[in-house]
Structure 1
Amino acid sequence: MNPHLLKVSTGPHQSFNIRHDVVQYFYNRWHFHPEIELLHIQKGTGLQFIGDSIQRFKKDDVILVGANLPHLWRCDDAYFQKSKTLRAQSNVIHFKEDFWGERFLELPENKKLKQLLEKAKRGISISGATRQFVIAQMEQMLEAKDSDRIVLLLQILGRIAQSKQLKLISSAGFSTQLEQKSTDKINSVYAYTLAHFKEKISLKKIAEVSNISPNSFCRYFKVHTRKTYSNFLHELRVGHASKLLIENKLSISQICYESGFNNVTNFYKTFKRFTGQTPLAFQQMYNTTAGE
């Protein structure tokens, strides 16, 4: 999917941006920006799109998104309903790779830091003690002034660069396609699919949404996402099914049809292909982990 360029604003006396957001739902358009993004999700659940990866996100996830890597966080449907209490919250830092000067990353002491920012172009999920350190330091940054902010950011990135508690998110072969002319077309496909993935979506219909012929649409979508539209649709359905399995309020048969699958056999087969587990095994594993 082609993303659109998002302009990240910084204050007149700031070299990079850090803020605390409390919103109804996170920004839900497929986008990219030259700034590197470090995000701590304080409250919120939904689907996370980073490069060619689709996964669920949850409270206390910490993600490092590299420069110009397309991404979005699509909150669950409940966040789009009118509610006085349900809000998504996050702390987020945006900074350009060269904000501390062109030669900074070339210093021999910063070799691992430079390597980290290169790896971040695939997106990095941060876990364990490293995640807790980052969360605490980001909280301090919100109150810090002047050069203290830069010192704290450098400490955060230094800790991440030394950590082994990291997981790359996008595939090694993912590369961005940043043509602006396709932005509205792809976002229309994305918006329609999110609104209708529980229903049967024909190739003819989704091609009409994008104003492309069915044969051209298949090739176009695969070129820009490195996956077929069918796989993309299945990923969305599996992601939604994962949420329902975790909530444990419906039977597996009900979850199958609520997630857009047309029969239980196909649901089991597709879910295992994308997650490596059957729906029941996934649910049992989550319930066991949550009870620890």
Structure 2
Amino acid sequence: MKVINQFINNGLQEQSVVIRNITAADYLHCHKELQISCILEGEGTAIIGDHPNQFKPGDIYFIGADQPHFFKPANDLQDRIYISCLYFDPEKLINMNGFCGEMEAILPFLNLTINGLKVPQRYTKEIAGRLDDLKASNGIERLLQFIDLLYFCSKIANWKPLASGSYNYTFDVTERLGAIYTHTLQYYNKNITLNEIASIACMTPHAFCKYFKKHARKTYFNFLNEVRISEACKKLVEGKSRNIGNIAYETGFENTITFNRVFRKIMNMTPSEYIEYFNFNNPQQNAGLTQGNRYA
């Protein structure tokens, strides 16, 4: 898999804000522009920095400047992920603050985007509508609408960064991490051994452990468990399997005891509590997951 540092130069010389519909890249890449991605078609797993996250149509992500990311389809039969993407060089707004003090109001939010953000469900329709308005505009009108979008987002409380820190990866590091992430997303439900994943990175097990923790800021097996729990959360709310044991096995865990312990550690709640939390925040979407359809 070839991983690149992309240059988003198509249109950015003529316009400060570029927005277009594209097929999402399924390889790890980064670029200097801030990216806002609205999922139009497809579902799967997004890697934003070092964070795995399940996505579906309607989800919206802020991806920081120079933050490695890619969107992997849920299965091989799904040939593409179609997204609406906005690109903007954040340095332009930072520089603007030097002669336009009012920009100070949105800089804290702009700093938050460095680690990647996922728009809370209750705000996705509003922000998606604003992105549509941006797409229909151009010139100074588009720039002003974009600044207004950032100001709107700056007033949303309790943003939770997705990744654990900012990044400044070389090409070699990005390419190697891309191979590791891709292998993990493909085989997370298998018994991935340390020797196996180290060989993917062309390293000894000891060197791999040090390397991954240095660049991902967590151990590999912590990352693997996050991928597994992310997939488990998706299966829990889909309601296709009502048995915790089955979900644990399907996501790579050997038993429900380990699954429940890891789930609670990562999500700060049990699987059943997660279902209740999801139902409360998505009452219309998940009316079928009622009290009578509790997970064992």
Structure 1 partner of 2:45: 47
Deviation at 1:288, TM superposition (A): 5.2
Counterparts of 1:191 and 1:129, CA distance in 2: 31
Counterparts of 2:281 and 2:120, CA distance in 1: 16
Structure 2 partner of 1:170: 163
The range that moved more, 136-145 or 65-74, is 65-74
Name the CA shift for 1:164/1:185 in 2 (closer, same or farther; >3 Å): closer
Alignment of 1:64-83 (within 5 A): 64-77=62-75, 80-81=76-77
Contact conserved, 1:130 with 1:159, CA < 8 A, in 2? no
Name the CA shift for 1:263/1:163 in 2 (closer, same or farther; >3 Å): closer
Q: Secondary structure at the match of 2:236?
A: helix
Structure 2 partner of 1:282: 274
Name the CA shift for 1:288/1:116 in 2 (closer, same or farther; >3 Å): closer
Counterparts of 1:154 and 1:180, CA distance in 2: 32
Q: What TM-score results when the alignment is normalised by the length of structure 1?
A: 0.85
Name the CA shift for 1:129/1:233 in 2 (closer, same or farther; >3 Å): closer
Name the CA shift for 1:284/1:114 in 2 (closer, same or farther; >3 Å): closer
Counterparts of 2:61 and 2:158, CA distance in 1: 12
Counterparts of 1:166 and 1:65, CA distance in 2: 13
The range that moved more, 119-128 or 257-266, is 119-128
2:140 to 147, 162, 171: 147
Q: What TM-score results when the alignment is normalised by the length of structure 2?
A: 0.84
Q: Secondary structure at the match of 2:9?
A: coil
RMSD: 2.4
Deviations along 1:209-242, whole A, 9 cap, x unmatched?
A: 1110111111111101011111111111111111
The range that moved more, 137-146 or 262-271, is 137-146
- Structure 1 unmatched ranges of 5 or more: none
The range that moved more, 59-68 or 247-256, is 59-68
Tell me if 1:8 matches 2:1: no
Alignment of 1:137-286 (within 5 A): 137-164=130-157, 166-171=159-164, 174-250=165-241, 251-286=243-278
Deviations along 1:167-212, whole A, 9 cap, x unmatched?
A: 33233xx231412123332222222222211111111111111110
Name the CA shift for 1:215/1:61 in 2 (closer, same or farther; >3 Å): same
Structure 1 segments (4+ residues) deviating >6 Å: none
Deviations along 1:15-43, whole A, 9 cap, x unmatched?
A: 3310123x4xx322222211011222234
Deviation at 1:256, TM superposition (A): 1.1
Name the CA shift for 1:130/1:235 in 2 (closer, same or farther; >3 Å): closer
Contact conserved, 1:128 with 1:165, CA < 8 A, in 2? no
Deviations along 1:110-151, whole A, 9 cap, x unmatched?
A: 102222222211223333665443221211121213322222
Counterparts of 1:82 and 1:42, CA distance in 2: 14
Deviations along 1:250-287, whole A, 9 cap, x unmatched?
A: 22211111111111211111111111122233234434
Counterparts of 2:225 and 2:174, CA distance in 1: 22
Counterparts of 2:83 and 2:230, CA distance in 1: 21
Matching residue's letter, 2:264? K
Matching residue's letter, 2:25? Y
Contact conserved, 1:9 with 1:17, CA < 8 A, in 2? no
Matching residue's letter, 1:155? D
2:31 to 20, 27, 33: 33
Counterparts of 2:115 and 2:276, CA distance in 1: 31
Aligned residue pairs: how many?
A: 279
Name the CA shift for 1:134/1:108 in 2 (closer, same or farther; >3 Å): same
Matching residue's letter, 1:140? D
Counterparts of 2:141 and 2:128, CA distance in 1: 16
Q: Secondary structure at the match of 2:97?
A: helix
Counterparts of 1:235 and 1:190, CA distance in 2: 12
Aligned sequence identity (%): 26
Name the CA shift for 1:134/1:204 in 2 (closer, same or farther; >3 Å): same
Contact conserved, 1:47 with 1:55, CA < 8 A, in 2? yes
Deviations along 1:49-85, whole A, 9 cap, x unmatched?
A: 22333232233222222211222232312xx3057xx
Contact conserved, 1:130 with 1:160, CA < 8 A, in 2? no
